Amino acid sequence: MGAGGARHLLLLYAAVAVFGQTLDADVVEELDESFKDNRKNSIWLVDFYAPWCAHCRRLEPVWNEVGLEMKRLRSPVKVGKMDATSYTSIASEFGVRGYPTIKLLKNDLAYNYRGPRTRDDIIEFAHRVSGALIRPLPSQQMFEHVKKRHRVLFLYVGGESPLKEKYIEVASELIVYTYFFSASEEVIPEYVTLNEMPAVLVFKDETYFVYDEYEDGDLKSWVNRERFQNYLTVDGFTLYELTDTGKLIVIAVIDGKNATVEHTRLQEVIQEVAKDYRDRFHRRDFQFGHIDGSDYVNNMLMDELSVPTVVAINTSNHQYFLPSRHIESPDDVMQFINDILDGTIEARGGDGILQRLKRICYDVRTTIVSVFRSSPFLGCFLFGLPLGVISIMCYGIYTADTDVAYTEERIEVSKQETETRDVRDEGNEEEKKEENNGNSLVLSDAEQEPKDILEKKND
């Protein structure tokens, strides 16, 4: 390629870059302090970021794609971003405590997004939360269509009732996680059996379950537990959400890139248990799945697990259990679960004081290591500068104490020298007095002798 061709290519790249920046600015609005007063007339999907945050920089291209797709779909949701370090009062008002924080702002409500930071997941969240809280299903055809689109589907069946009021209240809190629908009894398929009306159902795993207040307890807790499929491909976000359910999570920790029989078989074994023993474990709050890699689990447990393995995590008290023997079949998994229930396997971890102190030390150590690995210069600056300042302060305090001690010592020595000098002076004065007295006596004797001689001559 000649010089002219290279020049034209560079101009083309520059034009594309400028066009991309203009496009990004058009679909994602940079927000300022005026946003606080102007936002109430629209629905906003906002990324609160910090310029120095590495996670925020990784999210930026994804966020631009979200804005572009929302504009293409002509969504009523506007996409924006705000520098939370520049507009701290607004960020604090919306409860921003970390970066990046994604929120959907609708009327006076702010909904937090806690899922994977991918374009499709964020867009699905925006559509779900920005729409109707309870979506009606007018026909069986619509019901079947929605059921095919959603892996987990909550449905209220019946008319106005106290149960529906609870259902709406739960939906207002958990809409950030799942959809909520309503229908009349005529819409429900014939294979669904309802012993009483009204009712709340969940459709998942090719079956359905009916909410029973006496057996399942609070409706919100039940929905929070049932919003997951029985078997999951677990990642960091899913594992974090599962901690709110209080379930016992049985996970196969494998290496997804390792195609050996040992890894694939362990995943299949957990899947078989989740499917074949679903009815047995459904009301006992068990969750099954597999996770690719052990990094997140190691961080959660503050332990180093060998891969592949199986671990059971009690999300209610942060304890975990490891099998006493190698898992090779569903029977081994069932024995492992029964040993946990019987208490024959020792629980590790927990949420006691020692574990909390261990967590603090572990988090500090991992944070320091991650900072130095990602940016050694930044790590030296962040940790070296404070240590240098503290060292200078300590040195100043030490030298100040030394100077004070030296001054006090010199004052004491001076006092002792002064006292010694005074004593010496007093002794010299006494000696002079004694000498003067002696001289006086000598003079008196000398003066007395001529007087005695004169008196004798006169006689």
Q: Catalytic residue among 56, 361, 380, 394, which?
A: 56
Alpha helices in 310-352 (DSSP H): 330-342
Q: Is residue 103 within 8 Å of residue 112, measured between CB atoms?
A: yes
Q: Quick count: other Cβ atoms within 10 Å of Cβ 114?
A: 13
Task: Write the CB contacts of 289 (distance below 8 Å, at least 6 apart in sequence).
Answer: 231, 232, 233, 234, 238, 249, 250, 251, 252, 270, 274
Q: Quick count: other Cβ atoms within 10 Å of Cβ 297?
A: 22
**Burial category of 442 from C-beta neighbours within 10 Å (exposed 0-12, middle 13-18, buried 19 and up):** exposed
CA neighbor of 289 nearest in space, from 250, 331, 237: 250
DSSP assignment letter at 304: -
**Residue 53 among the catalytic residues:** yes
Q: Is residue 200 within 8 Å of residue 163, measured between CB atoms?
A: yes
| Alpha carbon distance 151, 156 (integer Å) | 17
Tokens of 161: 């009732």
Q: Is residue 129 within 8 Å of residue 107, measured between CB atoms?
A: no
Question: Quick check: bond before 100 cis, omega within 30?
Answer: yes
Tokens of 408: 């006090």
Q: Quick count: other Cβ atoms within 10 Å of Cβ 458?
A: 6
Q: Is residue 238 within 8 Å of residue 111, measured between CB atoms?
A: no
Tokens of 152: 């987990």
Residue with tokens 């969504």: 75
> Catalytic residue positions?
53, 56
